[in-house]
Structure 1
Amino acid sequence: MEMLPLQARTQELWSERNPGLDTSAMQVVALVKRITVLLDRAVEPVYDGAALTTAEVELLVPLRHAESPVTAARLADRLGMSRAGVSKTLGKLEKRGLITRTVNPADRRAAPITLTPEGKDVIDTVFPRELEAHTQLLAGLGTDRQRVVDALTLLAETMDSRLGQATTPTPPKKP
């Protein structure tokens, strides 16, 4: 997968106008953005008329099999999302009865979050459909799948280390 012609031309123009500027990162960033758009496009049909948005599913998936209640701050950190965005989305989910937040008298910001039975039913319906859309989209990788996972893991770990963070879990290697 190469850069799209417009992206390649943009990189070329920046290099011409500013020869000292290292434009090599543009290729990686353009591909990551393109992949993100393609993933979003693949799941659009899943969310057309669904009871949840992609952002809500992203929050509910880790809650679905959590062995103990999770706080909003911990959820935001684990997912690499803003705490404000997580709090806003959790508020919507709570109003719809999909999660509960128990007030922690010691620290109001550390309210444990759990899925309600309705929340479990909804995520159990929507997430498998999203996963199937991703599976279909990536089916063409075949035997190259592990190579792609390794390359993406390297990318994530490199970016984490450059930012001084090590929050991205390394996926287990498949045989």
Structure 2
Amino acid sequence: MLEIQGMAGHLIRRLNQISVSIFADRMAAAGHDITSVQFAALSAVNAMPGVDQATLAGQIAYDRATIGGVVDRLVQKGLIDRRVSPSDRRARQLRLTEAGMQLVDEITPIVWALQSDILGGLSEEETQQMLTLLRKATDAGNSLSRAPLRG
């Protein structure tokens, strides 16, 4: 075994690879061309209609400089509507379109179902423990992130 194979960073990167692969496979099988980051954005806009792009980035812990590209792709797909804020002409308010709402309703159960496959080798008790530890570690390191969770 290589030394790196026992390091947290390496294992987290590998788990992320597994998560992204499972997500992509399930979305493709369901006939959808959507990434996990796009789903996170859709889910957040669904929960916070009218949210601006900067707040959206903080809510999903995504880089503010690149959230615009994610939103652009969702607008091009007809899933999000972007409008100038009436209170701040520099800000863009985001809302799901009807197609966006339908997609979120359709794929949210798929996303929930694939969560157990991401941690497939764990029992239910181990999964809960892993999620608790992941939350604890990400909360503790949030301020060190280039895209911290805000909100």
Q: TM-score, normalised by structure 2?
A: 0.80
Distance 2:54 2:70 in 1: 13
> Relative to structure 2, which stretch is displaced further, 32-41 or 43-52?
43-52
Deviation at 1:35, TM superposition (A): 1.2
Paired positions, count: 147
SS at 1:61 equivalent: helix
Distance 2:130 2:88 in 1: 43
Larger Rg belongs to:
1
Query: Percent of pairs identical after alignment?
Result: 22
Q: Is the 8 A contact 1:157 1:168 kept in 2?
A: no
Cα deviations by residue, 1:44-70 (Å, 9 ceiling, x for unpaired) = 32232414232211210111232x410
CA RMSD of aligned residues (A): 2.6
Instruction: Tell me the residue number matched to 2:15.
Output: 35
Match in the other structure for 2:133: 151
| Preserved contact between residue 58 and residue 150 of structure 2 (Cα < 8 Å) | no
TM-score, scaled to structure 1? 0.71
Residue aligning to 2:75? 94
Structure number with higher relative contact order (C-alpha < 8 Å, ≥ 6 residues apart)? 2
* Correspondence for 1:44 among 24, 47, 64: 24
Return the alpha-carbon distance in structure 1 between the equivalents of residues 65 and 144 of structure 2.
25
Partner of 1:15: none
**Are 2:33 and 1:61 equivalent residues in the alignment?**
no
> Which structure 2 residue ranges, 5 or more long, are not aligned?
none
CA contact (8 A) 1:99 1:113 kept: yes
Amino acid at match of 1:64: N
Q: Which protein is richer in strand relative to its size?
A: 2
The 3-state SS of whatever aligns with 1:108 is: coil
Unaligned runs of 5+ in 1: 12-25, 170-175
Report the Cα distance in structure 1 between the residues aligned to 2:78 and 2:21, rounded to whole angstroms.
28
| Structure 2 CA distance for partners of 1:157 and 1:55, relative to 1, 3 Å | closer
Contact 1:103-1:112 at 8 Å conserved across structures: yes
1:168 and 1:143, CA in 2 relative to 1: closer, same or farther beyond 3 A? farther
1:112 aligns to 2:87 (yes or no): no
